[in-house]
Structure 1
Amino acid sequence: MGDWKTRPAAPADVDAIAELRAEVLRPDLERLGRYDEQRVRNRLRNGFQPEHTSVIEVDGAFAGCMALRPDGDCSWLEHFYLDSSLQGRGIGGAVLRELLERCDREGTTVRLIVLRGSAARRFYERQGFVFESEDPLDVTMVREPAGVSEGQSGPVS
């Protein structure tokens, strides 16, 4: 799997993250007829929030990122990208499981948006995310914290 760790993102990470986003999203955006070489990078650059973003490093090198942005009664998992050469090795699952364990301890509901038809949807379903809604481009998924049933706002004792 490789030796991985996460670290807080810095403003200087924005270009590497924007490039990775363009690479990872390209096949799905092309399939949907929505790929624009500049727009895919600029959308990340214009909304980059390093205070909510972590960089994933594998064997000491930049390998990916993820953001967890608080929003009212939930947090949004955004910009979860892993270099395509490292996908399928269990790194993304391990990183996400660690994040979700923390969210479970804190009683945090996590939502995300995935492009329709993306293989990433199956990855998120394996981590406990379920369908919430969709539009012509995106599917919104949600994961309640472990131990929380509908109508409760925190972990069950």
Structure 2
Amino acid sequence: MPSTLPDIRFSAAQPEDFEALLALRIEAMRESLTRIGRFDPARARARLLAGFSPADTRHIEHEGQRVGFVVTKALRDCLLLDHLYLLPAHQGRGIGHAVMTQVLDEAAALNLPVRVCALRESAANRFYLAHGFQLIEQAEFDNTYLRPLPATPHPM
């Protein structure tokens, strides 16, 4: 991970952004899903649409370009990192780390652990493990991770 985080900005998603978000998700996931024989744009549309909440969705911008999006939902028992996608050309540059740092800061402010689900065969699994997530469940195609709140020091 880089010692300095890249400059990223978030902008609010709008309902009319759905098609652009879907296209980005498809591009970001195509390689992983193709590799396991599960690439299906109709399934991708249905899955994104099922939980689409513009209020919880933010575009990720870097150097004036939209390069991805993130969806977080504050639930009773955790902050759900529902989606985090970066265009392939922008992966591996520390942008995901900068986004994750922001997500973890938000979770800490809410005093909530973070939960995320990742395709079992995706490189995202290494990314989540490197950010302190612990595997809590494996399904046929997905892994579920939880990043507990950091332990707070006890007062002396």
Structure 2 residue corresponding to 1:101, chosen from 101, 105, 125:
105
1:60-71 pair list within 5 angstroms = 60-71=64-75
1:6-155 pair list within 5 angstroms = 6-147=10-151
Asked whether the equivalents of residues 68 and 75 of structure 1 are also in contact (C-alpha less than 8 Å), the reply is yes
Shift of 1:102: 2.1
How far, CA to CA, are the matches of 1:3 and 1:94 in structure 2?
A: 8
TM normalised by structure 2 equals 0.88
Shift of 1:104: 1.5
Asked whether the equivalents of residues 6 and 94 of structure 2 are also in contact (C-alpha less than 8 Å), the reply is no
Asked whether the equivalents of residues 67 and 86 of structure 2 are also in contact (C-alpha less than 8 Å), the reply is yes
State the Cα deviation string for residues 97-151 of structure 1 (Å, max 9, x = none).
Answer: 1210221232111101001121100011111101001011010000011225xxx
Shift of 1:48: 1.1
Moved >3 Å (runs of 4+): none
Root-mean-square deviation (Å): 1.8
Asked whether the equivalents of residues 6 and 54 of structure 1 are also in contact (C-alpha less than 8 Å), the reply is yes
Unaligned runs of 5+ in 1: 149-154
Unaligned runs of 5+ in 2: none
How far, CA to CA, are the matches of 1:140 and 1:72 in structure 2?
A: 17
How far, CA to CA, are the matches of 1:82 and 1:61 in structure 2?
A: 12
Shift of 1:156: 6.3
